[in-house]
Structure 1
């Protein structure tokens, strides 16, 4: 099964792909989709849409896992993240790919064993699990790969 993990955001959306079986995970790819703050809002969402659609077409994931909205005091940021999430859920429906959302706490608990783990701890465990050097990943890319691994563990590795 190929899992596409997404860390949604309007300015930067991280993505990570893994191939997973009931006993192992294999790294496929990771990257970022960046949008320019000078672009109109709708054009930024369209860029995210087009880039994720290209990823779907290139890698044919069986499932998409996405980091669920973490709401803090910045409502403007939360709304932008929710809009980017909506783009991902729309693409999953259009391509008939199941999509699952996981809270940051569940992702950290699954990867590190501690729901309040630091970003550095998550990055270290993702690197160990997939054999990807930590210096080659941004926080968004690490989170996306962690979300993909989280889905594999939450759904038994091979059961979508």
Structure 2
């Protein structure tokens, strides 16, 4: 399974692609940051992020997109740009029919380091070890994107497959119920016909 992890941000949007399966070694495919200039207005910055994410989706064709879930903080101006970037990332994945998931910062920290309160250095250190990298990924936004992708592979990937299987089986189950109802209806019609004089 291949996952594009996204650490949303208006100035720096971390992106990282990780490949693997739960219980097996994971590997780094690529990592980077989509940057926007504060000289641009917000709509043009969001278009830059959209084009950047689309380019990553085109190049790496991930099976899923995992994004950090945003929580409100005291600085509303900072959080607004992050939320807008996260929304763009969701749209990019959904437009292509790719499953999109969100993971909280504490889920990511716990999945990668075993401690939901780990600091950035601990998370980056564990990402470096898990992916067997020669050096820690930089900047921090890039390392965070990889941590989000790892979290999805370890925690969310299995659930995505279950949900997909349920979705694929749902029409079959519905068709089965429809066939049973139709057969019962026909049987009731036949018995009613037989009772007529």
> Which TM-score applies when normalising by structure 1?
0.95
More helix by share: 2
Alignment correspondent of 1:56: 57
What stretches of structure 2 of length at least 5 have no aligned partner? 162-197
- Deviation of the 1:134 alpha carbon: 3.7
Q: How many residues align?
A: 160
Greater RCO, 1 or 2 (C-alpha within 8 Å, sep 6+): 1
Structure 1 distance, partners of 2:141, 2:153, is 19
Runs in 1 of length 4+ with deviation above 4 angstroms? 156-159
- Deviation of the 1:70 alpha carbon: 2.7
Alignment correspondent of 1:29: 30
- Deviation of the 1:24 alpha carbon: 2.1
SS at 1:96's partner residue?
Answer: coil
Alignment correspondent of 1:45: 46
Q: Deviations over 1:85-128 (max 9, x none)?
A: 11011111111000100110110011111111010000000000
SS at 1:65's partner residue?
Answer: strand
Computed over aligned residues only, the root mean square deviation of the Cα atoms, in angstroms, reads 1.4
Please say which structure displays the higher CA radius of gyration: 2
Structure 2 distance, partners of 1:111, 1:35, is 28
Structure 2 distance, partners of 1:19, 1:158, is 17
SS at 1:30's partner residue?
Answer: strand
Whether contact under 8 Å (2:127, 2:143) holds in the other structure is: yes
SS at 1:155's partner residue?
Answer: helix
> Which TM-score applies when normalising by structure 2?
0.78
What stretches of structure 1 of length at least 5 have no aligned partner? none
